[in-house]
Every structure is written in structure tokens, then in C-alpha cells.
């Protein structure tokens, strides 16, 4: 939209950019909670996870807007991966919820299971991109 971070968020009275990168959603939430940042856009999965593991941090924040639902970020592999390894990885992810160790690992990150999504699950993102262009 012909914007830069400086033109959108502004420059402070010392000529510094008013935006910065935290390099992770959890760091963004912490930056807001600790008043290092005034606001941040974060993934709801990370926010919900932090509600359980860091309620003290979440208590210092509030949600001001929620986006429409989007397909969860996919698990991807290189286009050059060996097809056997690709199939093995797919089966591991899709079967984790049926294995005791897999269930334990999934529970640590608050995921029930991996499923195959239809490509149309990402149509809302494509539509948003069209509107921006």
C-alpha cells in the first residue's frame, strides 16, 4: 500500500523508527505486557498457549481486534525432498495423536493432532491479499 514502517508508524522526536521486530509472537506479547511496545499482531495459537504457560504476562495485555479465521500455517518440506522421506514425515505428523510419545509431545504445545487441510482453507488469506493489491 505504498507504506514503509516509518511512514505508517512514524518517527519519534529523536528520529528513530517507532516500530521494531521481536522475531517471535511470544516475544511480541511479552513486549506489550512489559510496555516496551504499545501493540502487536500475534498468532492466536501462541496467545492461547501463553495463557496457559504465562498467565502473568497475558494478564497485562488485552485483545483489541481478532482477524477472521485462517487456515493454520502448514508443515512444509523442500520440493527436492526424497519422496520416501516426505511420505514418512507426513505419516509421522498425521499419526502423532495415535502414539503415546506423540500425544505427549503434542500436549506440550497444546495441539490435538495434525490433519490434512483442503487448499480452500487458505482462501480467506488469498482474498485479503487481493483486497490489498
Q: Has residue 18 been placed in a domain?
A: yes
Instruction: Count up the domains in the chain and report the number.
Output: 2
- Quote the domain boundaries for residue 19: 5-58
Would 75 be classed as within a structural domain? Answer: no
Is 126 within the bounds of a domain? yes
pLDDT level of residue 46 (50, 70, 90 thresholds): very high
The 10 Å CB-count burial string (b at 16+, else e) for 85-119 is eeeeeeeebeebeeeeebeeebeeeeeeebeeeee
Residue 35 falls inside a structural domain: yes
- pLDDT single digits (tens) 6-34: 888 888 888 788 888 999 999 999 999 99
Do the domain assignments include residue 127?
A: yes
Query: Could you tell me if residue 73 is inside a domain?
Result: no
92 and 126 in a single domain? The answer is yes
Task: Flag whether 70 is in a domain.
Answer: no
Would 15 be classed as within a structural domain? yes
Between CA 83 and CA 117 the distance in angstroms is 20
> Are residues 16 and 53 part of one domain?
yes
pTM of the model: 0.75
Q: What is the DSSP string of 23-54?
A: SSHHHHHHHHHTTSSS-----HHHHHHHHHH-
User: Model confidence over 53-78: pLDDT tens digits?
Assistant: 999 999 999 999 998 888 888 899 99
Q: Rounded to whole angstroms, how far apart are CA atoms 127 and 40?
A: 23
The pLDDT, as a whole number, for residue 37 is 92
- 9 plus 53 within the same structural domain: yes
Amino acid at each position: 500500500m505504498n507504506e514503509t514502517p516509518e511512514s505508517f508508524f512514524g518517527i519519534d522526536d529523536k528520529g528513530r523508527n517507532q516500530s521494531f521486530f521481536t522475531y517471535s509472537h511470544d516475544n511480541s506479547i511479552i513486549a506489550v505486557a512489559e510496555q516496551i511496545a504499545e501493540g502487536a499482531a500475534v498468532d492466536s495459537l501462541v496467545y492461547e498457549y501463553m495463557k496457559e504457560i504465562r498467565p502473568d504476562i497475558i494478564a497485562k495485555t488485552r485483545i483489541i481486534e481478532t482477524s477472521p479465521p485462517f487456515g493454520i500455517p502448514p508443515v512444509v518440506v523442500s520440493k527436492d525432498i526424497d519422496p520416501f522421506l516426505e511420505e514418512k514425515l507426513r505419516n509421522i505428523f498425521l499419526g502423532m495423536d495415535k502414539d503415546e510419545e506423540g500425544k505427549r509431545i503434542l500436549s506440550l504445545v497444546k495441539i490435538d493432532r495434525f490433519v490434512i487441510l483442503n487448499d480452500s482453507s487458505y482462501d480467506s488469506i488469498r482474498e485479503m491479499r487481493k483486497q490489498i493489491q
